[in-house]
Amino acid sequence: MYQYEVQLRVRYAETDQMGFVYYGNYATYYEVARVEALRSLGITYKSLEARGILLPVLENRSKFILPARYDDLLTIKVTLDKLPSTRLYFQYQVFNEEEKLINLGETTLVFISRDTEKPIMAPDFLIDILNPFFNDR
């Protein structure tokens, strides 16, 4: 299992007239969280794309427990709890400044070859980096 924590601040643009973060914007928060989790391991999306590997999202789920508000400094705990094969699976827990859990999310992404537009296995270099976190499971 690999876990990482990311902080981000709610932008005015992300609120809606209810005074809360618009529900669709959590998808972007999840993106930031998983990108930074991978970066913490020395892996960037950008370098994956440069190798001709795309990572579109196959599935997304969100539970909205408490609202996030403008200027809140949110903490997103992102969990990678299994080694990727053709798919890469992330879970997210979003906490507000009072450390209350406000949102739960899950995304499934799939490794795609840009050339063939077909699913492919996770690249070896990525498995090599992730392996140590999953050895004793």
Cα separations in angstroms, 2 against 77, 82, 118, 137: 10, 9, 27, 12
**Residue 16 annotated as catalytic:** yes
Nearer to a copy of itself, 55 or 130 (CB): 55
Q: How would you write 60-125 as a 3-class SS string?
A: EEEEECCCCECCCEEEEEEEECCCCCCEEEEEEEEECCCCCEEEEEEEEEECEECCCCCECCCCHH
Q: Any contact of residue 115 with a copy of itself (CB under 8 A)?
A: no
- Pick from 54, 83, 120, 127: which binds a copy of itself (CB under 8 A)? 54
Look up residue 20 and give its DSSP letter.
B
Q: Any contact of residue 40 with a copy of itself (CB under 8 A)?
A: no
Q: Are 93 and 55 within 8 A, CB to CB?
A: no
Element (H, E) at 135: none
Nearer to a copy of itself, 46 or 100 (CB): 46
Q: Any contact of residue 120 with a copy of itself (CB under 8 A)?
A: no
Cα separations in angstroms, 70 against 32, 58, 65, 99: 18, 29, 16, 16
| Binding region for a copy of itself (CB under 8 A) out of 15-23, 81-89, 90-98, 124-132 | 15-23
Considering only residues 95 through 114, tell me which ones interact with a copy of itself, judged by CB under 8 A: none
In the complex, minimum distance from the CB of residue 134 to a copy of itself, in angstroms, rounded to a whole number: 26
Q: Any contact of residue 27 with a copy of itself (CB under 8 A)?
A: yes
* List of residues contacting a copy of itself (CB under 8 A): 11-13, 15-20, 22-28, 31-32, 35, 44-46, 49, 54, 56-64, 67, 69-71
Catalytic residue IDs:
16
